[in-house]
Amino acid sequence: MSEKVKELQLSPNEGWRNKRSQPTLPEVYRSIRIPKAGSWIKKFMAFAGPGYLVAVGYMDPGNWATDIAGGSLFGYTLLSVILLSNLMAILLQALAGKLGIVTGRDLAQACRDHYSKPVAMGLWILCELAIAACDLAEVIGSAIALNLLFGIPLIYGVIITALDVLVVLLLQNKGFRYIETLVIVLIITIGGCFAAEIFLSRPEIGGILKGFVPSSEIISNPTMLYIAIGILGATVMPHNLYLHSSIVQTRKYDNTIRGKREAIKYATWDSTIALFFALFINAAILIVSSATFHKAGMTEVAEINDAYQLLTPLLGTAMGSILFGVALLASGQNSTLTGTLAGQIVMEGFLNIRLPAWFRRLITRLIAIVPAVIVTALYGESGTAQLLILSQVILSLQLSFAVVPLIKFTSDQRKMGEFVNPLWLKILAWFVAAVIISLNVYLLFQTFLG
């Protein structure tokens, strides 16, 4: 067989129960051109973008409470856990991107085309619960930020967050690059705020470097282990795997062996670099918490509101609290943008139906906003704090049901052809899955029975 014929031959892409259906997010599918010639930098820049939408889920308001609690209680020790969870995320997101590029299916479509209808429906319901829980955390986070910065009552802040659906619709109609640009600008805003917070808090460089080295105390200290598992559970977001496997297909790469290999390479670079931004932000939250609260002996700071109120007296400037609030608002808004996209991908992928984009996003927002409004009205701030915890528990429950199919599909020769995971990657991926499953089971057991 000639080299030219080999190049044009597609991977087998067999072993599915159903034929491949129409892509999700059809309005932006393969809408971004990839240059045929030019430097690798030019090609990489064309692929850059989806990774930052994915990275948003790793720095959402649901992560903030665990990072703040970890820093105030144990100083810099749990930085190693943030690093470890980020490395796990890099691996899983790379697999999600590869699945989408090679098979032309996102993870939701792949589950529908592989499993029986009852199993696929069960996975869909679990995924919808996880997206609603994640959206709930983002709605509450944005409402808290509006309350802290502008004094807007929480219940009104929750309602205001519903308006960002209009922003998503407007930007997507203009092109997917507009959504990616807005997300990147908000990520830079969050990063800039925390870079300033680190400068103001003056942390110990030696303590930070030591914190990135794993300590046996994390295992031997039950309280530290519990918070460490909370950090791991809040970091890897199940809906991000569905999201990434779909949005990598917005790029118009060549549908050949060489084209797919190139797309996988640049998509992996994109998500890996973006997730290191998420690592910086999560680490920065813990570092600021450690350098202010832990250093001052305030080891009980675990809630976002408390952290906001205490930063000004501890740092000696109101700018500390303002930067914290701005970063929280940017984080909440960023996460809602990607959460609504993930909701559309999951519904279209699992059910193979097409709903008007505005209607699908309205449903996603209402699922999160209605319980947030009810709980805020009845119980106020304490209720929203408990709701945040519940949302993270639901996410932990669903995570395994996204990770296991992803690893299974990308390790199947019939589905992936020559792009199948090599043996070393299969072993590593299943080890990561076992760690995540074990830790989340422990977290759930401690939450309900501990």
Domain of 270: which CATH number? 1.20.1740.10
> Does the pLDDT at position 5 exceed 50?
no
Share of residues in the chain with pLDDT > 70 (%): 87
CA pair distance 323, 319, nearest whole angstrom:
6
Query: Is 10 inside a domain boundary?
Result: no
Query: Is 3 inside a domain boundary?
Result: no
What is the band of 82 on the pLDDT scale with cuts at 50, 70, 90? Answer: very high
Q: What is the structure's pLDDT at 61?
A: 76
Query: Is 128 inside a domain boundary?
Result: yes
Q: What is the mean pLDDT of the chain?
A: 85
Q: What is the structure's pLDDT at 273?
A: 96
> Does the pLDDT at position 9 exceed 60?
no
Query: Is 164 inside a domain boundary?
Result: yes
Q: What is the structure's pLDDT at 389?
A: 63
Query: Is 12 inside a domain boundary?
Result: no
For residue range 29-53, what is the model confidence (pLDDT) as tens digits? 999 999 988 889 999 999 999 999 9
Instruction: Kindly state the average pLDDT of the residues 397-424.
Output: 93
- Mean pLDDT is lowest, of 27-41, 127-141, 364-378, for 364-378
What is the band of 382 on the pLDDT scale with cuts at 50, 70, 90? Answer: low
Q: What is the structure's pLDDT at 8?
A: 42
Q: What is the structure's pLDDT at 244?
A: 96
What is the band of 291 on the pLDDT scale with cuts at 50, 70, 90? Answer: very high
> Does the pLDDT at position 153 exceed 80?
yes
> Of the ranges 55-59, 67-71, 116-120, which is most confident?
116-120
For residue range 86-106, what is the model confidence (pLDDT) as tens digits? 999 999 999 999 999 999 999
Of 366 and 289, the structure prediction assigns the larger pLDDT to 289
Other Cβ atoms within 10 Å of 397 Cβ, number: 19
- Mean pLDDT is lowest, of 75-84, 178-187, 330-339, 376-385, for 376-385
What is the band of 13 on the pLDDT scale with cuts at 50, 70, 90? Answer: low
Query: Is 11 inside a domain boundary?
Result: no
Query: Is 276 inside a domain boundary?
Result: yes
- Mean pLDDT is lowest, of 34-38, 162-166, 248-252, 433-437, for 162-166
> Of the ranges 124-133, 263-272, 276-285, 383-392, which is most confident?
263-272
Q: What is the structure's pLDDT at 249?
A: 95
Instruction: Kindly state the average pLDDT of the residues 390-400.
Output: 73
For residue range 333-347, what is the model confidence (pLDDT) as tens digits? 887 778 778 888 898
Query: Is 421 inside a domain boundary?
Result: yes
What's the structural domain count of the chain?
A: 1
Q: What is the structure's pLDDT at 385?
A: 65
- Cβ density class 252-285: b for 16+ within 10 Å, e for less: ebeeebebbebbbebbbbbbbebbebbbbbbbbb
Q: What is the structure's pLDDT at 172?
A: 66
Provide the domain limits for residue 299.
21-449
